[in-house]
Structures are given as C-alpha cells and as structure tokens.
Structure 1
Amino acid sequence: MRLNRLLAKRSHLSRRKADQAIQEGRVMVNGRLITNPALDVEESAKITLDGKPLSCVEDVYLAFNKPRGVVCTHNNKQAKLTIYDFLPKDLKLASAGRLDKASRGLILLSNDGAFLNRIMHPRFQIQKEYELILKGDIPLKYASQQAIAGVKVGSENLKIDYLKLVSFKKDQLKILVGVCEGKHHHLRRLFSALGYKVLDVKRVKIGKLSLKSLNIAEGEFKRIRKEDVI
C-alpha cells in the first residue's frame, strides 16, 4: 500500500495532509525517515508521525440506509445532516460513491481504499440496482429500449444495463434498473430526458448485497464483510 494511503488510514489526516506530512519529514517507517508519499510499504509497517507511533487499524465495512434529505459528505453546508452524523464518531470512513440529497437507500462505507475503488470504478463492473418511481405516460417498452441503448444528455451518453417493471398504477411506474457506472444525477437526468417525472430514487442493491437482506431501517447501519458485496 502507498505510504500516503496508509498514513491517512491510521491517522486523522486527509490524503493531501498525509502527503504534506511525509514530504515535510515528519513520518518514519520502520525506523527510517521517508519523504516519498508514493512509496509502497507493508500494511503491517511500524509508522510514526511526529515521533508518535500509529497503531494498525482494522478494516471496517459498513452498510448504511440513507434517508432522503441527508448528504454524503463530511461538509454539511448543503443540509442539516450528513451520513456521518449517523455513524460512530471514532471511525474514519469514506463512502463508495454517493447518493444525491433527494435520493435514499444503500450506501457502503469503509476505510479500505482498495475495496472502495473496486465498488466505484466501472472497470470492475460492480452492479448497482435502483428502485425508481416515475410519473408519465411514455410507453415503458420504448423508454426501456432507449435507456439501455443510451440517451444523449448534454455532453454525456447516459444509459442503464437493464430495466424491470415492478408495478404500475394509473400514470405511476415502479421499476428496477441496474447500472455499473453512475454519473452525476445519472438516473434522474436520464429518465427526465425520456419524458418522465422522477418521484423517487432508492438504491436497493450493490453487488451481492441487498438492502432487503440487511433488514435495517432508514438512518441505521450494519457492519458487513466485504465478501458480502463482491
């Protein structure tokens, strides 16, 4: 693991602050002064920061059921609550991607950077499934074909991997859609471009892990194993 990542994981420092501390000569690895943040080191290495030893940190994996109106950032200027307000204060975690403020559902958090990258990066093809409630009279078969083929929205081509109808009532549809690569407001922008009003977006599954199997209410979290997901 790169030294800057390991230092950030074991300390209160951000990755940028970890880089700075290493370059300033404040970090020692196994008794040697190291100033290269990109140096590969063993995760079990003995590290000191400003002369103080930093103990090894257990990898933590959490699943959180995000309520609507809560943001996925440490900075709460956008809302009264962030997802981190619901989690233990002693855990230094990052989320595997985000859900926008108006969306809800499954969020994964960890201090294992490799795990987070695997969940987020499209090359690993980790499927995310969402339950959407749409309003509109556009034929679903047409919308499904267009969404799977891809729709040009601004400068981006937005698409999904599959679409399943869950229920239909008057002019409201409940559907399940799957995507491996999620862009900013991906599903809201895509289905709005197809002529629907998006009433609700709820992430219900990431990889093998479903919200239903976790049995946690909105605002609750549960410790998981990474093998539960990938």
Structure 2
Amino acid sequence: MRIDKLLANMGYGSRKEVKKLLKDQGILVNGITITDAKTHINPESDKIVIHGEEIHYREFIYIMMNKPAGVISATEDLREKTVLDLLYIEDSQFEPFPVGRLDKDTVGLLLLTNDGQLAHQLLSPKKHVPKTYYAMIDGYVTVEDQQKFHEGVELDDGYVTKPAELVILKSGEIRSEVELTITEGKFHQVKRMFEAVGKKVVYLKRLSMGPLALDEDLEEGEYRELTAEELQALKEYRVKKE
C-alpha cells in the first residue's frame, strides 16, 4: 500500500496534507525517513513512526450508532443530513457505510463499517438475520395480530412476509407497545405489517440485529466503536450463518 493512502485512511489528512507531512521529514518506516508519497509499505509488518510516535494501521472500522430521528441512513445526500454527518473526521476518514437502512424517523441501532464482506453477510436475504424493534402503535394490538404476524401477513404489494415474532408489552384502546422480531428487510416493512392489520406505527426503535444489541448508554445521535467481544460475536455469527 502507498504510504500516502495509508496515512490518509488513518485520518492524517488529505493526500495533499499527507505529502506535506512527508516533506517535513516527520515519518520513519523501519527507521528510515520517508519523503516520497509513492513509497509502498506493508502495514502488517513495517514499523511506522510519525514524529516519534509509532502508529498501527487497521483496515476496518466497526461503529455502533444510536441513530436519531431526522437523519437518513445514507453515505451522502444533497438535501438531507446523513448518519455520516454525525461522525468525527477521524472516523469518517475510513469511509464507513450503514449496514442496512433505518427510515428517517426511525431511531436505534445502526451498524456502520467499511468491511464489505461482513456487511454482505448481515444483509443477505438468504441469511435471515433477525432484527428486533420496539414500537408504539396507535390502536389495540391483539393476540390475533400476534398469530397473523407469526403466520406472515400480506403487504400492500401482495408480498407475504416471513413469520415474525410479535411480543405485546402493553395494549390499550388508544396505544399499544410491542417488540417485533423480523428476519427480512423489506421497504418500511414494520410499518407496512401493522398497516396490514389496520394499525399505525407512531414510534419505532431498532433494539438489535443478529447478536448485536444497542448499548443503552448511547443517547440518540451518539456512537462508539464495537468492543472486541461484540465484533467477535458478529464474526462468529456470520460463520454460523454460512
């Protein structure tokens, strides 16, 4: 890998800014001063020191975000604020992308990474990765609704959903609270499933995706990197699904 690309990926600035850093002779690779931006290095084995501090390269970043309402799950948009706009520059330099999408008004767990292989495994329809949501519903959610969701409901386009697990937390004539686990990711699926039984979702929050659960200490709009244990659980889960 070229040293200017490596340093840019690690957040040391644009290619132009990295070239200036090299010109200032502040970078050593295996004890040798490097000034040429085109120099190729092995980030796995070469020792890289910048202004006296050894750095360790990593290729991937894995972020857990509690997505707030009002931002979209996209990498860029000309009109709307995206989840990437919530990242600090040292994290956005890795060019992560959201793994799946949450509607603009939906909050909760969102995984962002630049690990395309892991993202593909979690998003593949063949993997049936479970996703659990907390929802507030206008109307009285019944045991009959539970049974319909378990059997699969027909959406407005004629598609019949796969079996889903509906847990009623609180049910009232005006408003109900539920948890719903689905294994698909159809457009607006949770909202459309409730519309199929004559009810409306007024608040939706994703709680988990596969083995990854939302950190309750994260306020909406906050994020952190996955712990080693969380990342290992995701990778092991991917292998099991394969």
Partner AA of 1:162 in structure 2: E
**2 CA distance for matches of 1:185 and 1:78?**
21
**2 CA distance for matches of 1:158 and 1:169?**
26
**2 CA distance for matches of 1:150 and 1:168?**
21
Report the identity percentage.
Answer: 27
Q: What SS is found at the alignment partner of 1:155?
A: coil
Match in the other structure for 1:188:
191
Shift of residue 58, structure 1, vs aligned partner: 2.1
1:143 aligns with 2:145: yes
Match in the other structure for 2:154:
152
**1 CA distance for matches of 2:130 and 2:61?**
21
Partner AA of 1:87 in structure 2: L
Corresponding residue to 1:103 among 90, 106, 122: 106
1:204 aligns with 2:207: yes
Shift of residue 176, structure 1, vs aligned partner: 0.5
Q: What SS is found at the alignment partner of 2:191?
A: helix
TM-score, length basis structure 2: 0.67
1:92 aligns with 2:88: no
> How many residue pairs align between the two structures?
183
| Residue segments in structure 2 that go unaligned for 5+ positions in a row | 1-5, 10-37, 44-57, 238-242
Shift of residue 118, structure 1, vs aligned partner: 1.5
Larger Rg: 2
| Residue segments in structure 1 that go unaligned for 5+ positions in a row | 1-8, 13-50
Instruction: Write out per-residue CA displacement over residues 181-223 of structure 1, whole angstroms, 9 at most, x where no aligned residue.
Output: 1111001111012100110111011122211x45211001111
Greater percentage in strand = 1
1:1-230 equivalences in 2 (<5 Å): 53=40, 57-79=58-80, 81-89=81-89, 90-137=93-140, 139-153=141-155, 154-211=157-214, 213=215, 215-224=217-226, 225=228, 226-229=231-234, 230=237
Shift of residue 117, structure 1, vs aligned partner: 1.1
Q: What SS is found at the alignment partner of 2:154?
A: strand
Partner AA of 2:70 in structure 1: G
Runs of 4+ in 1 over 3 A off after TM superposition: 9-12, 51-57
Question: Which has the larger displacement, 58-67 or 158-167?
Answer: 158-167
